Structure 1
């Protein structure tokens, strides 16, 4: 029996080389990671497996939503993976998802894929209802625009 996969994903083709897209994905993360008018503040982002991630979402009306987790892997010019299942020093947290941010060569450009994997169908459906496609799609569009005009 095939294992159920509770994942949501967005893709974009970006007219820029993989190295440029990777640079924008990592060095300029605060400029694309959340859909405008929301913005990201990377208070802590340790770019290595086991590194701490604390990215705060700032909303247009003063909202502040901290998103703390752990970096699971970083493969330069390929992908980074994060989860909120743990906080610093591997403290268990209420897991919601694993986020995969992947790129690969696509002709003379790059294919970007953002995927959220969830532990349960309910969590996946909750994420969909929160506006996954619109929010992650807008972030992907922001990444695309930055990388194509860098």
Structure 2
């Protein structure tokens, strides 16, 4: 894990081409987005700046964690950026973070980096205490497993 200001981040090399990693990262989120045994259901994704990004995570003991926000950026094949500070109908929300998921080519594979930028130090600390490093690293591992298993 890396920490800069109120940012938390993880990075991982994935031994698969960037086009394949992007396809799984952007189009198959139900397979890797949250650490097992949690699961996610993608409800709506309007992949453009200002577009809705809505999904719900479900825990093994009946927990639900709705995620309702918008895309701030969507660069096909490279990165997407979301925030929960604003909902899909441009209503203010209790801001927690800006999430950035990006890919860069590295050798014959791909460098995956995920960042969570928080407005306040206490939000960053809460996210860290919730298990950011273990959780987001597990998601990166799940993404890598799919990509490396299916590598062409």
Q: Which residue of 2 aligns with 1:14?
A: 14
Aligned residue runs from structure 1 range 99-110, under 5 A: 99-110=99-110
Gaps of 5+ in 2: none
Gaps of 5+ in 1: none
Cα root mean square deviation, aligned: 1.0
Q: Which residue of 1 aligns with 2:54?
A: 54
Q: Does 1:87 align with 2:75?
A: no
Partners of 2:16 and 2:136 lie apart in 1 by 20
Q: Which residue of 2 aligns with 1:30?
A: 30
Alignment deviations for residues 113-147 of structure 1 (CA, whole Å, 9 cap, x no partner)? 00000001111001000000000010010011111
Partners of 1:126 and 1:63 lie apart in 2 by 18
Partners of 1:85 and 1:24 lie apart in 2 by 26
User: How many pairs were matched up?
Assistant: 147
Partners of 2:15 and 2:78 lie apart in 1 by 16
How far residue 5 of structure 1 moved from its aligned partner, in angstroms, is 2.7
How far residue 78 of structure 1 moved from its aligned partner, in angstroms, is 0.8
Q: Which residue of 1 aligns with 2:111?
A: 111
Partners of 1:69 and 1:147 lie apart in 2 by 27
Alignment deviations for residues 9-66 of structure 1 (CA, whole Å, 9 cap, x no partner)? 0111000000000000011011101000000100111111111111100111122221
Partners of 1:61 and 1:21 lie apart in 2 by 31
Runs of 4+ with >6 A deviation: none
